[in-house]
Amino acid sequence: MRSLTVDQITKLYRTGTEALSGVSFAVEPGTMLAVVGHNGAGKSTLLNIVSGLIRPTSGTVTTDARRGRLMWTPQRTMVDWSLTVRQNIELVARLTGTPGSSVDRVLELLDLDKVQSRQAEYISGGQLQRVQIGRALVAEAAVYVLDEPTAGLDPAAGELVMEHLRERAAAGATVLVSSHDLDAVERTASELVLLDEGRLRAHLPIQEFVRRAGATMKVNVVFAEPMPEPYPDRLDTALPPEWTLQTDADRTGLSVQVPLATGLRPVLAWLPPELQVQDLSAEKQSLRDVYLARYAERTPTPESVMVQQ
């Protein structure tokens, strides 16, 4: 069952910019989908089309309306400046028939209870962003669409918001969230859509994307004693072709870099049993690492699109 289907969306703005070109993907209920890509890649355009704020030039968005409403928060601030913090959230609650207790819960969750009586005009930028998020979260919805919700939030608040969105997805909602905070995305989202110059570059579960993008793992080994002859030369002869080995000059340790998909077990099996291991640690490349290494450049490369069917 799909809760959201984006089919062949293209958006040509009146200025002549083609912000999206033939973007298609579908997600199931319970998915937290992160939309990532460089500035101008088309994330906001996509989220605005999914929210119904703007129309695509061609293509369709289908949401499973039987499952309930869609709540969204745009990238640009959209609050009623003449209302207080509480009234801004209450307004959405009233329009959606949501009980008042939900307003209290959201104010508390977003740490807005202390400024709830203040007019929106007289609160900080981060607090304003929280009000926007509160307006999207106050009502129960089947689909939540949030454009860079953590922008301008302090790290603890950003973490809290992403974690809360993860919980909504775990409870069965579909959450679409654009973000440049790839560490938070890796911790909380289940799937990723990568846009590049308006085209879909990837749609995969996060960890599969990280593996398929060529992430590596570096295993550091410290031996109880310096390696005896014929080591370390002998290690090179048994090294699989895609592994890279570095040995310490004093022979007391080594580092071996392997594809993340290889896992630790083959590395342990490769270590000669006569070398006694004293300490072992592994450093895995993160989503942020592979993104910076492979996708941060603005010039598109003719790589294949990574989409799971």
Ligand X SMILES: Nc1ncnc2c1ncn2[C@@H]1O[C@H](COP(=O)(O)OP(=O)(O)OP(=O)(O)O)[C@@H](O)[C@H]1O
258 binding ligand X? (CB under 6 A): no
Nearest alpha-carbon partner for 102 in 81, 77, 74, 71: 71
Nearest alpha-carbon partner for 192 in 4, 35, 50: 35
For residue 66, give every residue at least 6 positions away whose Cβ sits within 8 Å of its Cβ, in sequence order, or none.
none
Give min distance, CB of 41 to ligand X, in A.
4
Cα–Cα distance measured from residue 159 to residue 181, given in angstroms and rounded to the nearest whole number: 10
Part of the chain binding ligand X (CB under 6 A), chosen from 36-44, 105-113, 159-167, 208-216: 36-44
* Cα radius of gyration rounded to whole Å, the chain: 24
Q: What are the contacts of 91-97 at 24+ separation with CB within 8 A?
A: 91/135, 92/135, 92/138, 92/139, 93/138, 93/139, 96/69, 96/71, 96/138, 96/139
Residue from 4, 23, 43, 253 in contact with ligand X (CB under 6 A): 43
216 binding ligand X? (CB under 6 A): no
Sites for ligand X among residues 5-34 (CB under 6 A):
13, 15, 17, 19
DSSP per-residue string spanning 83-143: SBHHHHHHHHHHHTT--HHHHHHHHHHTT-GGGTTSBGGGS-HHHHHHHHHHHHHSS--SE
* Tokens 């300490």 sit on residue: 279
Residue whose CB is less far from ligand X, 43 or 135 = 43
42 binding ligand X? (CB under 6 A): yes
134 binding ligand X? (CB under 6 A): no
Cα–Cα distance measured from residue 153 to residue 128, given in angstroms and rounded to the nearest whole number: 10
45 binding ligand X? (CB under 6 A): yes
116 binding ligand X? (CB under 6 A): no
39 binding ligand X? (CB under 6 A): yes
Sites for ligand X among residues 66-95 (CB under 6 A):
75
Question: 125-137 and 155-170 helices cross at what angle (nearest 10)?
Answer: 10
Cα–Cα distance measured from residue 71 to residue 146, given in angstroms and rounded to the nearest whole number: 8
Give min distance, CB of 46 to ligand X, in A.
7
Residue whose CB is less far from ligand X, 13 or 81 = 13
Question: Residue 43: exposed, middle, or buried by beta-carbon count in 10 A (0-12, 13-18, 19+)?
Answer: buried
Residue whose CB is less far from ligand X, 198 or 253 = 198
56 binding ligand X? (CB under 6 A): no
Residue whose CB is less far from ligand X, 54 or 65 = 54
41 binding ligand X? (CB under 6 A): yes
Residue whose CB is less far from ligand X, 35 or 206 = 35
Give min distance, CB of 218 to ligand X, in A.
31
Residue whose CB is less far from ligand X, 12 or 271 = 12
62 binding ligand X? (CB under 6 A): no
| Interface residues toward ligand X, by CB under 6 A | 13, 15, 17, 19, 37, 39-45, 75
